[in-house]
Chain A
């Protein structure tokens, strides 16, 4: 890790700290993501091995943030002196080590980008062609992950990094869901955002699939057009009510099995609203695509690959991607 000079802490993801750093030799700016790796008698944990190598492969896509290298740091090599007095403690630290995932650094993300269009000196809508281009790239990246059997599970504007000069959007924070122990609370005790969470997850479904990511894509699509979140809930219950108020309270006809889900309760019966009211500037094709991303029944929700062929993208020059 001596290769890198840490410049500043840029965030605390669910799985650990993220630093902006500089490669001392090349001067390249990178993002360092620090993760704990628990070693046991059998050495490097198989889950970590499989998931980091998967990440390594997935990041070959232009629409996924590139993993430049993986650096392993034995934690006890730096701590051993401190713990010499307490053998039991030393034993504990023996198996701890850190893994630094070195990613390409992009200086902005979709959340900051949307914020800059909502507030500040010059509030203005995002150009429709830019929304179209970002959504296409997002679908392309998600399709890439899904075709390799990987769910993102936490797509949100903060996780979509932008190269503003080139107009490129890249998916970040991918795939570490199972390799690393998920903390009960996030690292900083920050509230993990629920805004992009699919209703089946909120209702405690034990089986969920690619549809959870497509729901998030829908929420992000609407947010680019509105410049504010579509469903800004602050608890799981509130989150569901936000969704139900717009899309109507789901019924067994619409979504077979919904009332049997673990966290289903009796809710007020709202009627579905017209989506155009919340995304007036999107146009009929955009609204149609959005409605397909926000289908209640995950099986009916449009796939990333099918979304890329939706007429909403007809006016987009796809050859550039």
Chain B
């Protein structure tokens, strides 16, 4: 009975799609943030960032897919309601309720007290319940979110050759990119199916460049995929995949010199909850940025 991001329609893991999941393509728009969210963000960029990081803090002990689902609820809630007066406690309450709903959908073992944590605010059951009901109403109880993960198996089925380990690698890398992309406000406007297709294409170009053209053609030929939007989404996704901190650079500085980028990169990763290992890793990825920046120039006209 529990809900899986990869298979939102099915009530049990035994069931799989044997054809184009047309239901999913038809309903995906009901499960994504509306344009209103974009307007709110344009007005106040920190708004969504604070709300999302609040969800991530509350859900840090769960599976990443649970956090992903909770952020999806959050975005859709913000799209329909906004928050007139952003207050830290309100972000916290919203986060607790979104995570609680996601945990219930995924049948995660938890109790409300676990996720209240040490955020400095403790809400009583009644308050959380009211917030849950408010979110459910805003989402019209559409809690089986159609997300990019829902389209992965379908698009992967278009990948040739039929080689399970290859496909597994592709899927793993694409999932990583999709998780990363949720934080990027530039991707909010794209349909989940386009995000899935773009992430897979990017992963394929990175891991199996020989198969890329063929894969791209197969995806573009799918009647549910709008080629122009795919191109736009792929471009935006490319930025995310190459460096996950890009949105924060934009915020701090619009300067594009490599030196600045590296500086920003360090400062932003240090300002997060870092441990020694993460700092080491960011050093690795920052050297990679040189190469990737270079690749980026070449990749722009990939379509």
Instruction: Encode contact with A along B1-18: 1 for CB under 8 Å, 0 otherwise.
Output: 111000011111011000
Q: Which of chain B's residues 9-41 have a Cβ closer than 8 Å to chain A? A: 9-12, 14-15, 23, 26-27
Residues of B within 8 A of A148 (CB): 9-11, 15
3 tightest A-B CB contacts, nearest first: A149-B11, A149-B12, A53-B143
In the complex the two chains form, is B140's CB within 8 Å of A44's CB? Answer: no
Q: Considering the chains assembled together, what is the distance between the CA atoms of A71 and B136 in angstroms?
A: 9
Q: Which of chain A's residues 262-277 have a Cβ closer than 8 Å to chain B? A: none
B242 within 8 A of A: no
Q: Considering the chains assembled together, what is the distance between the CA atoms of A42 and B97 in angstroms?
A: 11
Query: Which one of A54-62, A190-198, A223-231, A292-300 is at the B interface?
Result: A54-62
Q: Considering the chains assembled together, what is the distance between the CA atoms of A70 and B138 in angstroms?
A: 10
Q: Which residues of A contact B (CB under 8 A)?
A: 39, 41-44, 46, 49-50, 52-54, 56-57, 60-61, 69-72, 74, 94, 97, 147-150, 178
Q: How far, in Å, is A95 (CB) from chain B's closest CB?
A: 9
Q: How far, in Å, is B177 (CB) from chain A's closest CB?
A: 26
In the complex the two chains form, is A46's CB within 8 Å of B104's CB? Answer: yes
Query: Which one of B125-133, B151-159, B181-189, B246-254 is at the A interface?
Result: B125-133
Q: Considering the chains assembled together, what is the distance between the CA atoms of A178 and B12 in angstroms?
A: 15
Considering only CB atoms, which chain B residue lies closest to A61 in the complex?
B23
**Which of the listed residues A43, A49, A56, A60 has the most CB atoms from chain B within 10 Å of its own CB?**
A43
State whether A42 and B144 are in contact (beta carbons under 8 Å apart), knowing that A57-B9, A148-B10 are contacts in the complex: no
Q: How far, in Å, is B270 (CB) from chain A's closest CB?
A: 38
In the complex the two chains form, is A44's CB within 8 Å of B144's CB? Answer: no
Q: Interface size of B by Cβ–Cβ distance < 8 Å? A: 33
Q: How far, in Å, is B57 (CB) from chain A's closest CB?
A: 20
Q: Considering the chains assembled together, what is the distance between the CA atoms of A178 and B26 in angstroms?
A: 28
B262 within 8 A of A: no
Given contacts A42-B100, A50-B2, 18 further A-B contacts (CB under 8 A): A41-B112, A41-B125, A42-B112, A46-B105, A50-B3, A53-B141, A53-B144, A56-B140, A56-B141, A57-B8, A57-B142, A70-B136, A94-B126, A147-B10, A148-B9, A148-B10, A149-B11, A150-B11
Residues of B within 8 A of A49 (CB): 101, 104-105, 136, 141, 143
Q: Considering the chains assembled together, what is the distance between the CA atoms of A178 and B1 in angstroms?
A: 11
State whether A43 and B137 are in contact (beta carbons under 8 Å apart), knowing that A53-B144, A60-B23 are contacts in the complex: no
In the complex the two chains form, is B9's CB within 8 Å of A69's CB? Answer: no
Q: How far, in Å, is B59 (CB) from chain A's closest CB?
A: 16
State whether A44 and B101 are in contact (beta carbons under 8 Å apart), knowing that A56-B140, A148-B15, A149-B15 are contacts in the complex: yes
In the complex the two chains form, is A60's CB within 8 Å of B27's CB? Answer: yes
Q: How far, in Å, is A76 (CB) from chain B's closest CB?
A: 10
Q: How far, in Å, is B283 (CB) from chain A's closest CB?
A: 44
**Which of the listed residues B8, B12, B128, B136 has the most CB atoms from chain A within 10 Å of its own CB?**
B136
